[in-house]
Amino acid sequence: MGDEVTAGPAPVAPEHGGGRMSGHGTRRASRSFGSALGWTALGTVVPGVGYLAAGRRWLGGIVLGLFLLLVGAVVWLVTGGRRVAARTAVDTDVLQWATVGIGALALLWVVVVVTGYRMLLPRRTSRGRQVIGGLVVALLVAGIAGPAVFAGQLVATSRDLIDGVFADDRQSATVPDSPDPFGSKERVNVLLLGGDGGEGREGVRTDTVIVASTDTETGETTLFSLPRNLEDLPFPADSPLREVYPEGFDAGSESESLLNAVYRNGPAEHPDILGPTDDPGADFLKLGVGEALGLPIDYYVLVNLEGFSRLVDALGGITVNVNYYVPINGDPGTRELPDDYIEPGPDQEMDGYTALQFARGRFGLTDYDRMARQRCTIDAIVDAADPVTLLQRYQELAATTQDIVSTDIPRSVLDDFVDLAFLVKDAELRSVVFDEQVIDPAYPDYDRMRELVEEAIAPPVAPEPAPETSPEPAPGTEPPAPSPVTDVGDACAYDPVRAAEARAQGEPPTRQG
């Protein structure tokens, strides 16, 4: 007999024409529809997780690693790298590429979500569940696209704002034509102007004139406030304006020769005296105010007070302390009484209209009262501009700012100003007001003003130990004048004694009263 042959088990036909089922296929076949949706949702929040759950370890690891690097970069930018982020935010070329980058990143993110879902979806899924899954993925994609569109709009708005307000090709008679206009200055002096083209006025009067002088090493800043009715504004000896105004600015009448009229009347009388410039009024003031204070004015920023209320509204309002009744409207020239008054009180929340009246009101008060309130208003705006508010209202703020702000600060120095702003934020802010206790606006002593400026910006000197007993002043000698330098925060604090005195006197009369 021949050898006996024993037949083995019959071979099993491979599924779908293949050999053994792969690991990916096994997981996919055993995964439920609900878990596929769960992993897809988690993969939307943490890209790469969906790939890992589908068994694509290399691809998932690469995507997850890139995502973690991106998160780490963002965390660094909002913590230790805030200065780099701020410098980047003022570079229009970078912003343009950022817009493209946000779109590309969002598209890749969507691709990761959709392909991850396709890998996770069980093979035998009913059509109804496929429809439900498609709707869920569409919602997840919308969750990616929505923030991406918002971020892209913010970046585009920032670029438009910088292009609209700051320009390197703007003509100025007082900004040097230099590749590095910021240079290695020990101080940077910026003229802050509040232009009021109110009802019944022709042109713009700069009723607010403040110079912010900042130490570029420490960020310590002193604000010098000049009264609107300052007369005989001088000009530098090497300026053509000294030739036409040898005794100081004079437009023919006292009211038209005050400091607040220089911006309008100077260029009207001598339109081309400074050469090509986009804002001759600002150049007139930069030269004159700089000579008056003994400080070279580098740049100016003009805010139109007619649009100021829109800026405050865009911020959602501001909070200030009110220590006395502040008039709403009213005309000191015609003695027309105010419509109403802002009452004294701490931490008063104001909308744009009320804030404008608070900063502008002058009936029955002095220019120096108004100057102090304007500085407090600026301080309140800075406080209101917190990161959350800026993010929520950025587009409205940007549009408003572009409408009401003009400046000769070129785009090329914005990164330098960013570095300076980080110093200013943590430094001391002081104020010098040239009020009637310091100078007589009708007969100003400009030499004395320059001395006070030098004293205010001089490095602090360690005080000498006080003697055990204060010596009596010599007969006939006057006590030393108090320093005009004050802390801005103290000047804007609530004064319950003054507020109580104001209430005790009763509310001032109004037109309706």
Residue among 392, 385, 362 nearest 311 (CA) = 385
Q: How many domains in the chain? A: 2
Residue 6, domain member (yes or no): no
* CA 422/CA 461 separation, integer angstroms: 25
Q: What's the Cα-to-Cα distance from 374 to each of 109, 192, 445, rounded to whole Å?
A: 48, 11, 24
Q: What is the pLDDT of residue 176?
A: 76
| Predicted pLDDT at 513 | 46
Same-domain pairing of 131 and 221: no
Yes or no: say if 509 and 327 are a contact pair by the CB < 8 Å rule.
Answer: no
The pLDDT value recorded for residue 69 is 96
Does residue 17 lie in a domain region? no
Residues comprising the chain, all counted: 513
Verify that 272 and 338 share a domain, yes or no.
Answer: yes
Of 165, 198, 226, the last residue of a domain is 165
| Side-by-side strand order, sheet with 485-487 | 405-407, 299-304, 187-196, 205-215, 221-226, 429-433, 485-487
How many beta carbons lie within 10 A of that of residue 370, not counting itself?
A: 20
Question: If DSSP codes are grouped into helix, strand and coil, which group holds residue 311?
Answer: helix
Asked if the structure places residue 362 within a domain, the reply is yes
The answer to whether the beta carbons of residues 408 and 287 sit under 8 Å apart is: no
pTM, 2 dp:
0.76
Residues of the chain with pLDDT under 70: 1-30, 178-183, 197-203, 387, 459-490, 511-513
Residues 127 and 191 in one domain: no
pLDDT of residue 381: 84
DSSP codes joined into one string, 25-88: HHHHHH--HHHHHHHHHHHHHSTTHHHHHTT-HHHHHHHHHHHHHHHHHHHHHHTTTHHHHHHH
b/e burial code for range 410-432 (CB count within 10 A of at least 16 → b): bbebbbbbbebeebbeeeebbbb
Query: Residue 486 is encoded by which pair of tokens?
Result: 């004050």
- What pLDDT does residue 368 have? 79
Residues 150 and 244 in one domain: no
Q: Do 147 and 282 lie in a common domain?
A: no
| CA 270 – CA 173 distance, rounded (Å) | 14
193 in the same domain as 137: no
The long-range contacts involving 451-460, CB below 8 angstroms and separated by at least 24 positions, are 452/484, 453/213, 453/224, 453/293, 453/294, 453/295, 454/294, 455/483, 455/485, 456/222, 456/224, 456/430, 456/432, 456/484, 456/485, 457/187, 457/213, 457/215, 457/222
Q: From CA 310, how far away is CA 37, in angstroms rounded?
A: 47
Residue 304 has a CB neighbour count (10 Å cut-off) of: 18
d(CA 320, CA 349): 7
Asked if 357 and 421 sit in the same domain, the reply is yes
pLDDT at 181: 63
Contact 95, 158 (CB under 8 A): yes
CA distance 112 to 106: 10
CA dist 361 and 245 (Å) reads 32
What domain range includes position 127? 22-165
- Kindly state whether residues 64 and 119 are assigned to the same domain: yes
CATH number of residue 250's parent domain: 3.40.630.190
> Within a 10 A sphere around the Cβ of 393, how many other Cβ atoms?
16
Q: What beta strand segments (E) does 275-317 contain?
A: 299-304
Question: What CA–CA distances, in Å, run from 455 to 222, 384, 441?
Answer: 11, 32, 20
Among 131, 165, 199, identify where a domain stops: 165
Q: What is the structure's pLDDT at 467?
A: 55
- Residue 7 falls inside a structural domain: no
In this predicted structure, what is the pLDDT of residue 278? 92
Kindly give the pairing relationship between strand 429-433 and strand 485-487.
antiparallel
Give residue 465's pLDDT. 58
> Is 5 inside a domain boundary?
no
Are both 96 and 240 inside the same structural domain?
Answer: no
Question: Quick one: pLDDT at residue 372?
Answer: 81
